[in-house]
Chain A
Amino acid sequence: MSVRGCWVISVDSGEDGRSTGKTLFSRIFPSVEKRAKLCADSDHYVPLPDTQVFLEDLLNELGIQLTIKKFIGSRDSCKKVDQKPVFGVHTAAGVIWPVLVLEQAGLLYCCVPLVEVVGSSSQVSLIQIPGIAAGYSLLLGIADFVGKPQGEVLSETSSVIADLYLYLSCAAPFGTPQNVQPDIVRTTLQAKNTPVPKDKQPAWRPVAYKGKPNIYFAITEQIKAVQYDSSSIKDVWDLYGTVTCMAELEGIKPEVSVPFTWTDNGQSPTLNKFLFHHSVQSSTIGGSECRLEFFPPPEMFVLCQYTASGIDLPIKGFYQMKGDLFKADLLLQLKLKEHVKNTFQYCFVQLPFYNRGLIVNQDCTASHGSVSVSPSDGRTLVWNVGQKFPSKTLEVSLKAALLFDKAGSISKGLYDDPFCVGQNAYAQVYFKMTEYTQTGSMIEPKTVQVSPAAKVKVTVVREYLASDYKIWNSHGDAQMTFAPTLPS
């Protein structure tokens, strides 16, 4: 379960879909390299090249230096075996496989897990290599540690990159991933100089909390949906949720017991496909409740994730747009489902018009809220519905006639969705409600039990938001998939 080396590469995408890369961080573990040499016999051992050479070979393999718009045989050929996110990097000495690559926020995180099979590693399936799963977790940990650079451009000298050496020495000593959670690693590193406590702390709780006991729970439900307004194609949506927890409890190994409930009104909105944090000791799911018992780590963590079925769309939309390159007439109607909370933190709709000129004239009538053209790109109509739908009808509508710039018929420098040509268009709804979840999922603060028993302040917050909520134009074509009915 070791990795031979780790790399962090920054990728700048330039014009035409060509990208350039720069290595920000690299670390090779000589002891693992020695094991790799022993495992693979001399004919099959491929040494890891220098950082710069590895970078070039990797980018060649990914093919991101070349334009994405053209067919490049070495990257796009049908016979190329695709094992994403695992790649085989061709070097002068041979192929290095498996190279795990994780892309996040313009950075490539890579590692080469050790394959402990004698002979050629290419004869092994990914599922037989324990280092793959461990390496992937390590990459997630590194990515989490680096975080999303806000505004600043990362370089080799950035402090977070310099700290990665320290992080790896603790999270993966000698190339073997241990506890990769950045928060725990940070705490461990900071706690090095404090005296060893009398009672031994567990590894995932290196320092005991001192202070008032508090537990926070945040239940976030999200929905992504695609609506077609068509009798032949069914709308598709996914409702899923996350319970995040932060437990500030004293003691070596406090235990928490929580009943997590949701509404069961007979029409059975059921939560399923639960995924739990590894601190969860037992989970009992029955009816409309899931009881969780866990030993919370000191940092904030995702306690559980779930999906929901048997739930209707919270907002039903109908989008009708007719037009051409230069003008468009549209009607967009939204209807809030009954019993869904009618108080939004925000609710607005974006109607982007791709592959056209900028909007030069708009004649809009909205039954509710305000309409404007997005100042950032000049070709997206933004309808701010506001905080509430009319409580009687629960319906709002927008009628608009738009004229587009004829001179510069295609605006430059902006992203154009190549599918959205002619009348292929969509409206994207963004909303957020607080203190509400559509499944009624809830943690009642009074029912939270802590052992050893203590008076704990429990705070629960809930929110419900749209992550990707599209309504396709009924008069155009739409992206869709087909799923057959299967034998039961």
Chain B
Amino acid sequence: MSSSELALFYLPFCMKSHLGDGLFTKNEEELLLSHLMNRLNHPSLSAGQKLLLYDWVMHFPDHKGVVSQDPSVPYLLQPSQYHPLFPRVFDGTDTQLKKISILNLCYSPSDQPDSSSAVLMSAVKCLHKLVQYGVTGRAAVALFRALFFFYKRHHKSCLVADIQKFLTGIVTAHPKFAPHLIDFLACCRETHPESSLPLAVLSALSNHIVSLPETQVMENLLYNLQVLERAAQEPGIAPKPIVEFCISLLKTTTLCVEGNWRKGNGLLAVCRSILQYHNTNPVHVEFGDLLYLIFTFFEEVDIRDRARFYYAVLTNLSSDKTSGILLNPVTNSNTASQTLTSLMTGSTNFPTASPVITKQEPVLNLIRCSENEDDSEEGDISTIGDDVESTDFSLIYKKSRSFTDTRVTQNFQITLVESIPELEEIYTLVLHFTTDSNYEPVKEVCIPCLSLKQPDGTPRSDLYKASAKFSIHFKPWEPVAATFNVCAIYTGLDGRTYASSLGPIELRFEDLFLPLAHTKCSRHALVNGLWKIMSSQEDCTESVFVIETKQEDQPLILNSSLHWKLIGGKNEDGESLVGMNLPPNTHLLMKQKPFQGRTVVSVLTDNWRILPSVYNYLLGLAGT
């Protein structure tokens, strides 16, 4: 019996429950039990093993070896032996909960405050203290479970008043425990439908919330609304203070302007509970005002719509009918809305709203347009204006280095291609771009309408075009190539919402090439000047690439492929210069010259991380 091996220690229990009566004398059974109790707090045993042992205590075989299915106190255990069952400061939450559930069996409080009730309530002290400090997670779960154990077994004792005080205190101090409380009350109702505890707790809490100053309510608005929603489900709690509270909330706080969907939803949930569980006649005017306020001023269209609907229900239907409709479970929203429409409009059946339909067929085609050709500029790259002396390149470099708001603009065209009947015309097309981690999120693009057909008799207008052009500004945090996935959401002719994914947009490294900052001096002087400044900077890196070119007649590979604005002319020794900015503030200068049929490119940059991209780019050029 003193074996540290769990399986061996289990043997006598196994024998007792299998062989039954007469195997052990009473003294031996007492010894077995005391060994079990000794282990409950043994510091050398693991917590998991001890948790099993607590279970054994609750199902200790009786003198005939019969194990009861319901947990009970071992028949031999005397109150003087309860000591190992009290939670200790070294116990984890699971262990404490197990101990509390055994103590719950050991003590039976009467309907007057007595030592038993005091013992039980003090057993949860450690968990309660944690929760009082707002500690969430396992401690909170364990505390609410412990209180539920107490309630389940002693719902007719004085313990109920203590539990009520506990719950009210916890949620008053920390509204974030509202979900725990609501679950607790639901469990109470399930086990004891006649219980008055939920009403008492909710009534106290709703009185507390409606009397709070707005700032305090707003801090934990969602939780407070959850409590009010649950309170409004109690027919015994008058809805008027709740309604008035909501009105004052809308009038005095920024709730409406904020237009937060979740908060609006919380508010509507309160309204729904009132509609469903109360006769609205006594609060008809105030409740109407509340719904009117929401559907007029709340800056969220879905919330407004639903408030308008509740308003219609309130003003047109009797309370009985309303609660009949709203009784349908929320999860089954499709059928619920069907019932609603059929009830309200007699025989007419509106088509029910369906979720977004994903289209696999290519409905839209997204292509990149070529660069704007219209921005020509006077000037010849071959002329060299040499006024380096008069220009402060150090300042120019410093200024352009500090510039962070650089962006790359690309033009796109989207065309409606597929002639599906319900998609011959699409509305409110929204293009959503997934964000690359190296880029600032790309803003959504909205296009009001795309149409394949021309409405009869109307002059051709911009509105009815099968394609639309738009530009996207990409703002990289790091100059690297990126791929953006595009998702299109739009409404078809049949009023349904569709979604389809478009091919990804590829932003190549060379797409990020931007001209150097515009200065008075020539580009040649600028590149040379910056080269001088940057080569003396500590954070700048210089590198040399030798590229084999296939086109031997064109050794200066860069010139043919780059925009003229990036090319900075030739030096006297035949070096051809290139200078560019990469967003947000990287400089890339290159000098290239032919050498024995190859191109030698010297690269100078203030961001060494782009060197692999530069190399790949140059290799790509050589290959073409």
Contact = CB atoms under 8 A, between A and B. Distances in A.
Interface stretch (B2-10, B520-528, B576-584): B2-10
B287 interface: no
Interface in A43-99: 68-71, 73, 75-80, 82-86
B49 to A, nearest CB: 7
Q: Which of B97, B126, B183 has the most CB of A within 10 A?
A: B183
Interface in A204-236: 222, 224, 226, 236
Contacts of A29: none
A125 interface: yes
Nearest to A73: B183
B123 interface: yes
A348 interface: no
A274 interface: yes
A104 B368 CA distance: 55
Contacts of B14: 130
A17 B79 contact: no
Contact of B10 (A69, A133, A419, A484): A133
B276 to A, nearest CB: 21
B42 A305 contact: yes
A480 interface: yes
B192 to A, nearest CB: 13
Nearest to A136: B6
Nearest to A422: B133
Interface stretch (B136-144, B310-318, B480-488, B595-603): B136-144
A481 B86 contact: yes
B354 interface: no
Contacts of A487: 79-80
Contacts of B46: 140
Contacts of B180: 71, 76
A137 B190 CA distance: 39
A84 B94 contact: yes
Interface stretch (B53-61, B381-389, B511-519, B608-616): B53-61
Contacts of A196: none
Q: Which of B3, B7, B10, B148 has the most CB of A within 10 A?
A: B7
A126 interface: yes
Contact of B6 (A17, A137, A479): A137
Given A130-B14, A468-B90, A276 B52 contact: no
B67 A127 contact: yes
Contacts of A242: 44
Q: Which of B17, B59, B68, B141 has the most CB of A within 10 A?
A: B141
Given A76-B180, A479-B89, A134 B43 contact: no
B44 A278 contact: no
Contact of B52 (A132, A274, A424, A481): A132
Interface in B287-322: none
SS of A interface (majority): mixed
Contacts of A187: none
Contacts of A276: 2-4
A221 B129 CA distance: 32
A224 B133 contact: no
B1 to A, nearest CB: 10
B67 A76 contact: no
Contacts of A136: 6-7, 48-49, 52
B126 A479 contact: yes
B80 A69 contact: no
A486 interface: yes
A453 interface: no
Interface residues of B, number: 72
Interface in B61-108: 61, 67-69, 79-80, 82-83, 86-91, 94, 97-98
A482 interface: yes
Contacts of B69: 123, 125
Nearest to B83: A486
Contacts of A238: 41, 43, 90
For chain A, the bracket of interface size reads 35 or more
A307 interface: yes
B491 to A, nearest CB: 35
Interface in A237-255: 238, 240, 242
B94 A128 contact: no
Contacts, number: 182
A419 B56 CA distance: 33
Contact of A130 (B10, B123, B145): B10
B52 A17 contact: no
B10 A78 contact: no
Contact of A127 (B17, B118, B136): B17
Nearest to A17: B137
Contacts of A123: 69
Contacts of B147: 78
Contacts of B43: 222, 224, 238, 240, 307
Contacts of B38: 273
B562 interface: no
A486 B60 CA distance: 22
B135 A418 contact: yes
Contacts of A283: 2
Nearest to A137: B7
A380 to B, nearest CB: 21
A345 B184 CA distance: 52
Interface string A402-428: 000000000000000011010010000
Nearest to A485: B83
A224 B8 CA distance: 28
B460 to A, nearest CB: 55
Interface in B32-51: 38-39, 41-46, 48-49, 51
A477 interface: yes
B166 interface: no
Contacts of B115: 484
A302 interface: yes
Contact of B130 (A127, A140, A479): A479
A97 to B, nearest CB: 13
A105 interface: no
A83 B53 CA distance: 11
A220 to B, nearest CB: 10
Q: Which of A71, A307, A477 has the most CB of B within 10 A?
A: A71
A71 B79 contact: no
A403 B316 CA distance: 65
B334 interface: no
A240 B45 CA distance: 11
B125 interface: yes
A479 B55 contact: no
B560 to A, nearest CB: 50
Contact of A134 (B7, B89, B90): B7
Interface of A: 1, 17, 68-71, 73, 75-80, 82-86, 102-103, 123, 125-128, 130, 132-134, 136-137, 140, 177, 222, 224, 226, 236, 238, 240, 242, 273-278, 283, 302, 304-305, 307, 418-419, 421, 424, 468, 477, 479-484, 486-488
12 contacts: A1-B7, A77-B187, A78-B148, A126-B52, A128-B67, A140-B46, A226-B90, A276-B4, A481-B89, A482-B125, A484-B115, A484-B122
Interface of B: 2-10, 13-14, 17, 38-39, 41-46, 48-49, 51-52, 55-56, 59-61, 67-69, 79-80, 82-83, 86-91, 94, 97-98, 115, 118-119, 122-123, 125-126, 129-130, 133-138, 140-141, 144-145, 147-148, 179-180, 183-184, 187, 190
The 5 closest A-B pairs by CB, nearest first: A71-B179, A133-B10, A78-B148, A305-B44, A275-B4
Given A128-B67, A304-B4, A305-B4, 19 more contacts: A68-B136, A68-B137, A69-B137, A76-B180, A79-B187, A126-B56, A127-B56, A127-B59, A127-B67, A128-B59, A133-B10, A134-B7, A236-B89, A240-B43, A275-B3, A424-B133, A482-B86, A482-B122, A483-B86
